A and B are shown apart, each in its own frame.
Chain A
Amino acid sequence: MSRKFTPKVVTANALLEGDAVWLTADDRWSTDMREAELLEDEAEAQVRLVFAASQPDRVVGPYLADAVAGPDGPEPTHFREVFRTLGPSNYFHGKQADESAEAAR
């Protein structure tokens, strides 16, 4: 029996900044995972991954990561992907800091 497909997002690291980014439905790379396109169909996920791989001038190492639908958009399921949406736990650096900077604006 083949394994049941679980929803995915396409994610990668931005070429210039190196930070985690997610592919949106309108073909942008967002630093906010909640803006990502949630892919519930396996074939479609492959198509989007191929599209991502065709943008080596923008991102590095695209892959499909498990995600679930949340109230504000896709959310990570694995702890590694959770960390990628936040940044390191020893300093308030990375996305967690960027987000609060945004919120303060």
Chain B
Amino acid sequence: MYTYSEFDEAFVRERVAQFRGQVERRVDGSLTEDEFKPLRLMNGLYLQLHAYMLRVAIPYGTLNPDQMRQLAMIAERWDRGYGHFTTRQNIQYNWPKLADVPDMLDALADVGMHAIQTSGNTIRNVTADHFAGAAADELLDPRPVAELLRQWSTDHPEFQFLPRKFKIAVTGAPNDRAVVKSHDIGLQMVERDGETGVQVIVGGGLGRTPMIGKVVREFLPLEDLLPYCEAIVSVWNLIGRRDNKYKARIKITVHEHGIDEIRRMVEERFAEIRPGFTGVDQQLLAELTGAFAPPAFKTAPTDAYEAARAADPVFRAWADTNLAAHKAEGYAIVTVSLKAHGATPGDASAEQMRLLADLAERFGHQELRISHEQNVILPHVHKADLPELHAALKSAGLATANIGLVSDIIACPGMDYCALATARSIPIAQEIATRIDELKIEHEVGHMKIKISGCINACGHHHVGHIGILGLDRAGVENYQITLGGDGTETASIGERAGPGFPAEGVVPAIERLIFAYLDVRESADETFLQAYRRLGPDPFKAALYPADDKGRANAA
């Protein structure tokens, strides 16, 4: 597995030492908040509703057991015994004290982790497919490319004061699990005439003005990746709007100039800077590819797995929902749900983190991943070990069999923590999951993505939820707008607003009506909610959301 270079180590330590001094000067009054705020944000430290919040990067979602244990230790020592995994493959601590943060950062540095570029107008933590290096459908592990981009963008002098933040996602598989079309740059590995290259997508984004990214280059040879990305950022850095925060993201630049003009400018800039890239980046990429080489997979019989499937219906249900196809014979990818019905999506206690670290050591070739869907992945587990793994997960409340189902909800922190929120998201997620569990229908309903954001910034990706829920403040009351038909995969689309919003207590009944309407209209159990929505259009679903009787009217505000 890849470990940080000495340069990284020295750089991170230096930054922690600087920040320690800055915190001291803030506390003794020699720095004002205006001076300190950009410094703390550069180190991932936010001030939220009830406390500070430290956001720690988990680059491309990859962790080793020691790192996971350290995250648990930090949660216990300086926080409240848990951490929150976010939709950007970060972990957030919700209760640090200002004076403790430098120690937390030092503890992170001990395991090669940091909070750099998790905030500010920089190139943020590069995200990747959480099944990277394991998925059966993968052309190429996207992590070496993600790491190359991370090294290139970290402290890149040209890109420290960009018009706005900039997010890059990479996937090595045709099935997009990294939401690449909703990123400023989305990179998708593709094959052409036996050669693997990259399809480059630009200008995607959610937030106030959601946009699906557009293809700027159909096929880019891997060796051109860095100069090409640099050309994109450079063009945007030049023509991106700095006059209006809401128009600064590259999606607006692409929208205003048109993809053809952007392509022309990018290609021109690319031609200019390409000669400056003399191959050092390719040497590095080759090294990184070696560092991310797959573990030595074992060969073993899978009888124990088959026997457990036949004997234990609970195990079978879990295996059916939480496993994904692995590229190695006899192996499976395990998604551990952090969405127990009624729990806070994405939260893991220190004990759970430690157990996951142990299990990765015992059964998972030392690897853990965090998904943008706020779950934990054990990417390489031999099927023979699955019954034992499942039993261990069950003992810690981590064996919920709901991946990809109704209760596998993405929810941002919302107004329970976030200072920018206009309404809460977590309780809505908890209530929907609890209700669907009472109804005992989620396996029958099948694949469904519900995503909830507590404000228009859309950290909960509601625009690309099959059902999206957006919390707003309407005249001093929490109100929830529902969007339908969103999709964050390779067939990406932005959900459409269904109609007037619902008060908090109206959301769960509304979702329930939607789900039953879907069960009524689907052609077969194989037709997913999204497929049914695409076949039929919004009408039957709107009719369910807004029934003509008085009760329904009263429900919708």
Contact = CB atoms under 8 A, between A and B. Distances in A.
Interface of A: 13, 15-20, 56-57, 60-61, 77-80, 83-84, 87-91, 93-95
B97 A17 contact: yes
B50 A16 contact: no
Contacts of B52: 18
Contacts of B305: none
Given A56-B33, A90-B416, A16 B47 contact: no
Contact of A84 (B49, B97, B424, B477): B49
A88 B416 contact: yes
Given A20-B49, A90-B344, A15 B416 contact: no
A19 B51 contact: yes
Contact of B50 (A56, A57, A77, A88): A88
B426 A56 contact: no
B50 A19 contact: yes
B506 interface: no
A16 B48 CA distance: 13
Interface residues of B, number: 32
Contacts of B416: 83, 88-90
Contacts of B98: 15-18
Nearest to A66: B476
B546 interface: no
Contacts of B156: none
A18 B47 contact: yes
Contacts, number: 75
A93 B49 contact: no
Nearest to B423: A79
A91 to B, nearest CB: 8
Contacts of B518: none
Given A61-B47, A89-B426, 6 more contacts: A18-B96, A19-B50, A56-B29, A57-B27, A57-B29, A88-B426
A64 to B, nearest CB: 16
A74 to B, nearest CB: 17
Contact of B477 (A13, A79, A89, A95): A79
Contacts of B421: 80
A95 B424 contact: no
Contacts of B99: 16
Contacts of A19: 50-51
B426 A84 contact: no
Contacts of B426: 88-90
B298 interface: no
A3 to B, nearest CB: 15
A54 to B, nearest CB: 11
A52 to B, nearest CB: 12
B427 A89 contact: yes
Q: Which 5 A-B pairs have the closest CB atoms?
A: A88-B416, A57-B29, A18-B52, A18-B51, A94-B50
A95 B97 CA distance: 15
B478 A61 contact: no
A89 B424 contact: yes
Nearest to B416: A88
B415 interface: yes
Contact of A17 (B32, B51, B476, B477): B51
Contact of A18 (B50, B344, B473): B50
A16 B344 CA distance: 27
Contact of A15 (B27, B94, B427, B430): B27
Interface string B93-131: 011111100000000000000000000000000000000
Given A17-B97, A83-B415, A89-B424, A56 B32 contact: yes
Contacts of B47: 13, 18, 60-61
Nearest to A17: B97
A64 B474 CA distance: 20
B115 to A, nearest CB: 16
Contacts of A16: 27, 97-99
Nearest to B49: A84
Of the listed residues B52, B94, B99, B344, the one surrounded by the most CB atoms of chain A closer than 10 A to its CB is B52
21 contacts: A17-B97, A18-B48, A18-B50, A18-B51, A18-B52, A56-B33, A57-B28, A61-B33, A61-B47, A79-B476, A80-B415, A83-B415, A83-B424, A87-B50, A89-B416, A89-B427, A90-B416, A90-B426, A91-B344, A93-B50, A94-B50
B394 interface: no
Contacts of A95: 50
Contacts of A91: 80, 344
B315 interface: no
Contacts of A20: 49-50
Contacts of A84: 49-50
A61 to B, nearest CB: 7
